[in-house]
């Protein structure tokens, strides 16, 4: 490559950007609704198990591939396994990025609509039912959701366009601390609502009679989605990490931050769900219906509602940026485009697919296949199919193709750092993770 590659400038920048990718709508919007649909406590437990034994190793595996190769998700496989079909895993990741961002940007757009409603005091005086109706009519109205989706894609494109250091890293370093403070404030508020304990019990008291293979697959999918693993996002980000950064520690910090925020989101939402007598299995509208309800009824609600939707939009933005970067890095390095052209092409291409996701709440809501709308298919396909599949290939690649010597060399910074538990890591990536993911995947889809 003739030009010098852009990259992250500092350790704090790496953490902010990678945690920015991981912490997103997946934590605050998706985790509570999927946990709610799957019975709460028992789901949380399985989810945490997957984070620990699969999520963390896959994250480290991805960072290792990326930093080793110093290239985009597809180029990394080509470079480390020349002439072999491994690049197809990278290609699948680029495809997954399109599918994820297409539906993710729908929800990200909703956060902007709700932010604007919060600012104009739009929840005021509305009953729980009215808030639900207004949510449903907003989703179905084609224009506003589409416009907000495009605004969000534009913001994402703007940051990616500005570069890795001057765009992604810079904004993540500003936005992530703000996010942490906001979510802490709102969780405390939610916990102090009368009746909050019901929600805490729902979230933390496991009821194992609720567990089916479908629930287990949902937990695996949620863990992968939330950590941003399985499609090359962390390969791409890993390729921007300097050779003196400690990768296992980075992976550990990012995993911990992401899990902490997901649990905190549960603590923020379920007490309110129970306090206001809403069904926790309400579905993907959960945060958009429940939270305005709380804000409407609580002291300082106007102020908190603005804070919350700012929080949601920020969380979404640092994640959409990471998904778009996968595509942009691929376009620019493999197809020799300028960053500018790659960003425009990537954002426009994804936005076009995204229109279908957004319209599936309105004009296309009857376009269903096996009970799922286009939006639901995108969500299901990405989290429950593409990410687990990508994760399997990634661990197999690291375990069997790269092998212990190269892995050790990379994660020890060429022998500079002492690495412990390398044998445990190798056993996980060679045997345990591929078998476990494959089993959950096949049983969960009912193929076994």
Q: Indicate whether 226 belongs to the interface with ligand PFF (CB under 6 A).
A: yes
Sign, Cα dihedral of 188, 190, 195, 196? negative
Of 307, 308, 306, the closest CA to residue 118 belongs to 306
- Which range touches ligand PFF (CB under 6 A), out of 19-27, 33-41, 118-126, 364-372? 19-27
Q: Indicate whether 21 belongs to the interface with ligand PFF (CB under 6 A).
A: yes
Chain position whose Cβ is nearest to ligand PFF: 26
Cα distances (Å, whole numbers) of residue 7 to 11, 15, 243, 329: 11, 13, 11, 12
Q: Whole-number minimum distance, CB 51 to ligand PFF, in Å?
A: 12
Spatial distance between the Cα atoms of 258 and 341, rounded to a whole number of angstroms: 32
Give 223 or 426: the residue with its C-beta nearer to ligand PFF.
223
Cβ neighbours for 132, distance < 8 A, ≥ 6 positions apart: 285, 289
Spatial distance between the Cα atoms of 429 and 395, rounded to a whole number of angstroms: 5
Give 21 or 293: the residue with its C-beta nearer to ligand PFF.
21
User: Binder to ligand PFF among 16, 17, 18, 22 (CB under 6 A)?
Assistant: 22
Q: Indicate whether 160 belongs to the interface with ligand PFF (CB under 6 A).
A: no
User: Binder to ligand PFF among 15, 16, 17, 25 (CB under 6 A)?
Assistant: 25
Spatial distance between the Cα atoms of 241 and 215, rounded to a whole number of angstroms: 35
Of 220, 236, 237, 247, the closest CA to residue 90 belongs to 236
Give 100 or 203: the residue with its C-beta nearer to ligand PFF.
100
- Which range touches ligand PFF (CB under 6 A), out of 40-48, 243-251, 315-323, 418-426? 315-323
Give 28 or 426: the residue with its C-beta nearer to ligand PFF.
28
Count residues near ligand PFF (CB under 6 A): 15
Spatial distance between the Cα atoms of 76 and 414, rounded to a whole number of angstroms: 19
**Which residues ranging from 94 to 133 are in contact with ligand PFF (CB under 6 A)?**
100
Q: Indicate whether 259 belongs to the interface with ligand PFF (CB under 6 A).
A: no
In this structure, the number of other CB atoms found within 10 A of the CB of residue 82 comes to 9
User: Binder to ligand PFF among 15, 16, 18, 26 (CB under 6 A)?
Assistant: 26
Q: Whole-number minimum distance, CB 324 to ligand PFF, in Å?
A: 10
User: Binder to ligand PFF among 14, 17, 27, 330 (CB under 6 A)?
Assistant: 27
Q: Whole-number minimum distance, CB 224 to ligand PFF, in Å?
A: 8
Alpha carbon 351 to its chain's center? 18
User: Binder to ligand PFF among 259, 319, 347, 373 (CB under 6 A)?
Assistant: 319
Give 275 or 342: the residue with its C-beta nearer to ligand PFF.
342
Q: Indicate whether 360 belongs to the interface with ligand PFF (CB under 6 A).
A: no
- Which range touches ligand PFF (CB under 6 A), out of 18-26, 84-92, 197-205, 435-443? 18-26
Cβ neighbours for 212, distance < 8 A, ≥ 6 positions apart: none
Cβ neighbours for 7, distance < 8 A, ≥ 6 positions apart: 164, 165, 239, 240, 241, 242
Q: Indicate whether 222 belongs to the interface with ligand PFF (CB under 6 A).
A: no
Query: Residues 107, 257, 419, CA angle at the centre, nearest 5°?
Result: 135
Q: Indicate whether 38 belongs to the interface with ligand PFF (CB under 6 A).
A: no
User: Binder to ligand PFF among 139, 228, 255, 384 (CB under 6 A)?
Assistant: 228
Q: Whole-number minimum distance, CB 319 to ligand PFF, in Å?
A: 4
Three-class SS state of 8: coil
* DSSP secondary structure string for all residues of 90-130: HHHHHHHHHHHHHHHHHHHHHHHHHHHHHHTTTTTT--HHH
Q: Indicate whether 233 belongs to the interface with ligand PFF (CB under 6 A).
A: yes
Spatial distance between the Cα atoms of 81 and 29, rounded to a whole number of angstroms: 38
Q: Indicate whether 153 belongs to the interface with ligand PFF (CB under 6 A).
A: no
Q: Indicate whether 236 belongs to the interface with ligand PFF (CB under 6 A).
A: no
User: Binder to ligand PFF among 139, 187, 322, 360 (CB under 6 A)?
Assistant: 322
Cβ neighbours for 312, distance < 8 A, ≥ 6 positions apart: 25, 28, 29, 111, 114, 115, 287
Of 49, 57, 60, 47, the closest CA to residue 428 belongs to 57
For ligand PFF, the binding residues (CB under 6 A) are 21-22, 24-27, 100, 225-226, 228, 231, 233, 319, 322-323
């Amino acid at each position: 490559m003739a030009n010098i590659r852009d990259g992250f400038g500092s350790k704090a920048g790496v953490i902010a950007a990678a945690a920015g990718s991981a912490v997103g709508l997946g934590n605050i919007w998706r985790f509570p609704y999927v946990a709610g649909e799957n019975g709460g406590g028992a789901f949380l437990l399985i989810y945490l198990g997957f984070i620990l034994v699969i999520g963390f190793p896959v994250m480290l595996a991805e960072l290792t591939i990326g930093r080793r190769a110093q290239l985009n998700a597809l180029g990394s496989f080509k470079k480390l396994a020349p002439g072999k079909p491994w690049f197809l895993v990278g290609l699948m990741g680029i495809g997954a990025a399109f599918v994820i961002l297409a539906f993710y940007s729908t929800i990200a757009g909703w956060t902007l609509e709700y932010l604007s409603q919060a600012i104009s005091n739009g929840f005021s005086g509305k009953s729980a039912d009215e808030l639900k109706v207004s949510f449903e009519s907003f989703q179905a109205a084609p224009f506003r959701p589409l416009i907000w989706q495009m605004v969000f894609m534009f913001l994402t494109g703007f940051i990616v366009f500005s570069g890795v250091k001057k765009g992604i890293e810079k904004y993540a370093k500003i936005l992530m601390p703000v996010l942490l403070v906001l979510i802490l404030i709102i969780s405390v508020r939610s916990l102090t609502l009368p009746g909050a304990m019901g929600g805490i019990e729902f979230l933390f008291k496991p009821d194992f009679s609720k567990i089916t293979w479908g629930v287990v697959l949902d937990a695996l999918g949620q863990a992968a989605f939330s950590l941003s693993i399985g499609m090359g996002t962390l390969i791409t980000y890993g390729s921007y990490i300097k050779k003196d950064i400690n990768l296992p520690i980075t992976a550990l910090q990012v995993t911990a931050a992401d899990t902490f925020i997901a649990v905190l989101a549960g603590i923020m939402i379920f007490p309110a769900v129970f306090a206001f007598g809403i069904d926790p299995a309400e579905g993907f509208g959960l945060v958009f219906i429940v939270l305005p309800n709380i804000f409407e009824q609580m002291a300082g609600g106007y102020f908190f509602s603005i804070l919350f939707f700012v929080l949601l939009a920020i969380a979404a933005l640092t994640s959409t940026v990471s998904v778009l970067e996968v595509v942009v890095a691929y376009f620019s390095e493999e197809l020799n485009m300028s960053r500018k052209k790659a960003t425009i092409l990537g954002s426009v291409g994804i936005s076009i697919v995204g229109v279908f996701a957004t319209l599936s709440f309105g004009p296309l809501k009857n376009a269903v296949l096996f009970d799922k709308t286009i939006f639901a298919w995108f969500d299901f396909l990405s989290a429950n199919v593409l990410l687990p599949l990508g994760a399997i290939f990634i661990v197999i690649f690291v375990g069997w193709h790269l092998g212990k010597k190269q892995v050790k060399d990379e994660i020890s910074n060429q022998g500079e750092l002492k690495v412990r538990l390398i044998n445990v890591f190798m056993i996980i990536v060679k045997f345990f993770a591929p078998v476990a993911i494959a089993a959950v995947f096949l049983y969960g889809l009912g193929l076994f």
